[in-house]
Structure 1
Amino acid sequence: MRVFNCDHCGHVVFFDSVQCLHCGSTLAFLPDSFTMAALVPVPEEGPGLWRRVDPRGDGLQSGRRYRMCRNHTAHQACNFALPAHHPGDLCVSCCQTRVLPDLSHAPNVRRWKQIEAAKRQLFYTLARLGLEPAPGGAGPVFEFLADLPGGPPILTGHLGGTITLNIAEADDDERARRRIALGEPYRTLIGHLRHESGHFYWDQLVRDGGRLESFRQVFGDERQDYAAALQAHYARGAADADWAARHVSAYAAAHPWEDWAETWAHYLHMIDLLETAASYDAAVTVPDPHAAVRQRVSDPFAVPRPAFQDMVRQWVPLTLMLNSLNRSLGQHDAYPFALSPGAMVKLRFVHDLVQGLAVPACPVPFGAH
């Protein structure tokens, strides 16, 4: 995720900011221009209306007017704005959430806010890739549910365009418990959402996009029994030690659908981290057997888009540096993976598929959802 600058004072602000800590300006993300903006109210034009502070500093007011997302106004749970003329009162991300947990229970409000923040991050990356709105129309819808006493456990997953997430995943201790119980090195909210979005876009891009045969050549035949494959995967446990030669994670070895979803999530990890590093004008030393090459990290959304092999050459030392920085602070590796050539082939498949859509990253039209 790139960093931004306050329109009013130029200070660095972030994607989830709601106020500039330097000048106090109100901030909101504008999906119709892919930017964070400093806003000032214009009550004389109507209740709840805002305009953008003119970034040029010439005193001219922006002609476009905005309203804050209802989830910001009611719960301080969103920092997206929407055009004043838009008929709805939810932003393009929040309107994708179809079912909420019981918000009268205070811990659920906290969990919901954390999940929505991760979902906005997912929305941003997908939109920058030209995948929101989705090629088949509207994007996925989301249901955030809680386990009920005596009821069946809520399982995180995707079915028919709906992504369900158990809100317990927003609790660090519960997420850590599940990560340890399942033998996973990495488990985060954004990781869950990126993975489940992979299942949604498999339907959109592979099944409905006429790419089943090319998919099967790389990932295997998805027609094998899914339930039986998962059961066999969990029965094997650590015994399946050769997964790393062909997959991005141990779970990816369970079934071709999960292989795709894990690879898709890793590709979104790559895109987001490279964009973040590029926005800081970071440079890395790319290992070379003859001479080390130092180069700036390429913005994955630059025009023309960087080649996949260049992204990978920057990705590897970047993740090594990231993990080293984490260890310096006594933290676990932020990216606890080492991608094999076999896994890279699958990442390349995802990259070529996404880039081959030839849909330029553009501002998100409101009303698309």
Structure 2
Amino acid sequence: MQVFRCPVCDRPVYFHNTRCACGQEVAFDPETQSMGIARDTCANRDRIGCNWVAEAVLCRSCAMTRTVPDLGAPENLGHWRTTEYAKRWMLANLGRWGWFGAIDKGDRPVFKLLSEQTSTGEINVTMGHANGTITINVTESDEAVRVERRAELGELYRTMLGHMRHEMAHFLHLRLSKDDRFVAEFRALFGDERTDYGEALKRHYDNPRTADDSYISDYATMHPHEDWAETVAHLLHLVDVLDSATAVALSLPGVKTQGYDAYAQTDTEDVLNRAVQISIAVNHVNRAVDLPDLYPFVLTPGVRKKLALAHRSLRAPA
């Protein structure tokens, strides 16, 4: 993510800020990818801290949310706020490649943000994507809940931003699949997505596979759709890591970031290699304070081929 500048005093302003240190109210414009003086802001600004400009009453991101968690359960306001922040971050990243902007005339996703906690008791919530609708379990915005489930499921990586990127990847596949060339390339690398998903899901949980050279995670082995979603999520992680390192002028020997635009780069291997080197360095720093690795994965040759297709396909909307 970029570091922005206050339009009045030129101090650094960060993606979550609604106000600069100088006191100026600011708002993010996803069309220009910039922070400006706060005018015509999203109607959700005061309630959940949305700092985007409005396209009508709501901003581009909040307008995609059709269902919010039951606010009769008091904890859900905070869960909604945190979840929408992750969604805005994910959408801002994709906006660097032109997705959902003014020139993108394609369909936009619909979000259902549900909580396991309601005013009438607990319910089950399953995250997923179906025909353009993305369901997110906002209960996982609670750090303690997410850490517990990460341990239960044996996952190295489980974050709200990761959930957003994974489920959005399913929607992006729906958009991209309107192009027969993409479908042919996809099936050659990922397999035939028309295979029975229910059977694949049952097989995965009855007899889970371990990721090999061709898969970024164990979950990716389940079905071509999940392989794609996991691959895209990791691509978005890595491009954003590199972009964020550039934004704060972080560099290493042989990895100069000054003037580098991770979203403009067309060479996938260059992006991956730079991001991996940055990640390894930050992993080492994290260990100094006993924190988990920033990116605890190895990019095998088979995975890199899939990342290259995802990168090539996502650099401009279908």
Name structure 2 gaps, 5 residues minimum: none
Mapped contact 2:97–2:317 kept (Cα < 8 A): no
Once residues 295 and 334 of structure 1 are traced to their aligned partners in structure 2, the CA distance between those partners, rounded to angstroms, is 20
Mapped contact 1:29–1:37 kept (Cα < 8 A): yes
> Is the alpha carbon distance of 1:251 and 1:17 closer, same or farther for their aligned partners in structure 2, counting shifts above 3 Å?
same
Partner of 1:137: 106
Partner of 1:281: 249
Partner of 1:335: 295
Pairs aligned (count): 313
Query: AA paired with 1:295?
Result: K
Partner of 1:7: 7
Name structure 1 gaps, 5 residues minimum: 40-65, 286-292, 360-369
Mapped contact 2:83–2:160 kept (Cα < 8 A): yes
Partner of 1:69: 42
Mapped contact 1:28–1:37 kept (Cα < 8 A): yes
Look up the SS of the partner of 2:18 in the other structure: coil
Query: AA paired with 2:215?
Result: H
TM normalised by structure 2 equals 0.92
Once residues 32 and 193 of structure 2 are traced to their aligned partners in structure 1, the CA distance between those partners, rounded to angstroms, is 39
Once residues 176 and 12 of structure 1 are traced to their aligned partners in structure 2, the CA distance between those partners, rounded to angstroms, is 32
Once residues 76 and 218 of structure 1 are traced to their aligned partners in structure 2, the CA distance between those partners, rounded to angstroms, is 41
Mapped contact 1:222–1:257 kept (Cα < 8 A): yes
Query: Which of 244, 254, 258 pairs up with 2:226?
Result: 258
Query: AA paired with 1:142?
Result: F
Q: Is residue 295 of structure 1 aligned with residue 264 of structure 2?
A: no
Once residues 189 and 76 of structure 1 are traced to their aligned partners in structure 2, the CA distance between those partners, rounded to angstroms, is 16
Offset at residue 306 of structure 1 (A) = 4.4
Amino-acid identity (%): 37
Query: AA paired with 2:16?
Result: D
The list of structure 1 runs, each at least 4 consecutive aligned residues, that deviate by more than 3 angstroms after superposition, is 133-136, 148-152
Once residues 261 and 168 of structure 2 are traced to their aligned partners in structure 1, the CA distance between those partners, rounded to angstroms, is 23
Q: Is residue 109 of structure 1 aligned with residue 77 of structure 2?
A: yes
Offset at residue 105 of structure 1 (A) = 2.5
Match runs of 1:1-369 below 5 Å: 1-21=1-21, 23-39=22-38, 66-73=39-46, 75-82=47-54, 88-133=56-101, 137-147=106-116, 153-205=124-176, 207-210=177-180, 211-237=182-208, 240-241=209-210, 243-285=211-253, 293-296=254-257, 298-302=260-264, 305-355=265-315, 357=316
Once residues 145 and 107 of structure 1 are traced to their aligned partners in structure 2, the CA distance between those partners, rounded to angstroms, is 12
Mapped contact 1:136–1:204 kept (Cα < 8 A): no
Specify which structure has the bigger relative contact order, considering alpha-carbon pairs within 8 angstroms and separated by 6 or more residues: 1
Offset at residue 339 of structure 1 (A) = 1.2
Q: Which one has a bigger Cα radius of gyration?
A: 1
Offset at residue 160 of structure 1 (A) = 0.7
Once residues 189 and 105 of structure 2 are traced to their aligned partners in structure 1, the CA distance between those partners, rounded to angstroms, is 24
Offset at residue 151 of structure 1 (A) = 7.1
Q: Indicate the larger mover: 93-102 or 275-284.
A: 275-284
Cα displacement string for residues 236-263 of structure 1 (whole angstroms, at most 9, x for unaligned residues) = 34xx33x131111111111110000000
Mapped contact 1:284–1:314 kept (Cα < 8 A): no
Q: Indicate the larger mover: 129-138 or 246-255.
A: 129-138
Once residues 282 and 299 of structure 1 are traced to their aligned partners in structure 2, the CA distance between those partners, rounded to angstroms, is 13
Offset at residue 172 of structure 1 (A) = 1.0
Q: Indicate the larger mover: 126-135 or 316-325.
A: 126-135
Once residues 98 and 301 of structure 1 are traced to their aligned partners in structure 2, the CA distance between those partners, rounded to angstroms, is 29
Query: AA paired with 1:172?
Result: E
> Is the alpha carbon distance of 1:300 and 1:263 closer, same or farther for their aligned partners in structure 2, counting shifts above 3 Å?
same
